[in-house]
């Protein structure tokens, strides 16, 4: 006799075994997932925070002027790995930096000293940006 295999989501089999407990766990996960993403959205709002988007191999905006104490967050919207690396390709200064491996990856730095902070992407060195921090 031929056995027909129906396609089922991966979580159905354990759910059949565990019944309602599993269902409520799924509901809980969706609720928690929702509140986490809501929190993430509101984080971008505020006087001492600003956001830079990395999209189509560009930092946007690539020039920022902020006050001391501002938290700058970079979020990668490309599918490829970019980095936010402090300094210039010739002179890396190690003040901040992080690889952003694919879409949704983010990194933040809070700049507490006035000054000019250039940065770039290690993998695509034509990608450059600058933050000016004023008192």
> Which spans of this chain sit near Cu ion (rule: CB under 5 A)?
82, 121, 123-124, 127
By the 10 Å C-beta count (0-12 exposed, 13-18 middle, 19+ buried), 135 is classed as exposed
Which one-letter DSSP state was computed for residue 17?
Answer: H
Nearer to Cu ion, 64 or 127 (CB): 127
CB of 127 to Cu ion, least distance (A): 5
Least distance in angstroms from the C-beta of 117 to Cu ion = 18
Contact (Cβ atoms closer than 8 angstroms) between residue 56 and residue 99: no
Minimum Å gap between C-beta 24 and Cu ion is 43
Nearer to Cu ion, 49 or 58 (CB): 58
CB closer to Cu ion out of 63 and 123: 123
The candidate with the shortest Cα–Cα distance to 77, out of 56, 61, 98, 62, is: 56
Q: Which two tokens stand for residue 34?
A: 């929702």
Residue whose CB is less far from Cu ion, 55 or 124: 124
Q: Which is nearer to Cu ion, 117 or 119 (CB)?
A: 119
Q: How far is the CB of 120 from Cu ion (least distance, A)?
A: 9
Exposed/middle/buried for residue 107 (C-beta within 10 Å: 0-12, 13-18, 19+)? middle
DSSP 99-115: EEESTT-EEEEEE-S-E
């Amino acid at each position: 006799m031929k056995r027909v295999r129906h396609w089922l989501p991966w979580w159905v089999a354990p759910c059949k075994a565990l019944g309602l407990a599993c269902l409520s766990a799924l509901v809980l996960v969706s609720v928690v997932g929702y509140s986490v993403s809501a929190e993430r959205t509101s984080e971008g709002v505020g006087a001492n925070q600003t956001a830079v988007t990395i999209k189509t191999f560009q930092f946007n905006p690539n020039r920022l002027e902020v006050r001391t104490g501002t938290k700058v967050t970079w979020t990668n919207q490309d599918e490829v790995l970019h980095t936010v690396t402090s300094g210039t390709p010739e002179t890396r200064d190690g003040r901040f930096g992080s690889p952003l491996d694919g879409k949704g990856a983010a990194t933040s730095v809070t700049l507490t000293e006035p000054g000019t902070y250039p940065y770039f992407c290690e993998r695509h060195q034509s990608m450059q940006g600058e933050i000016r921090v004023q008192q």
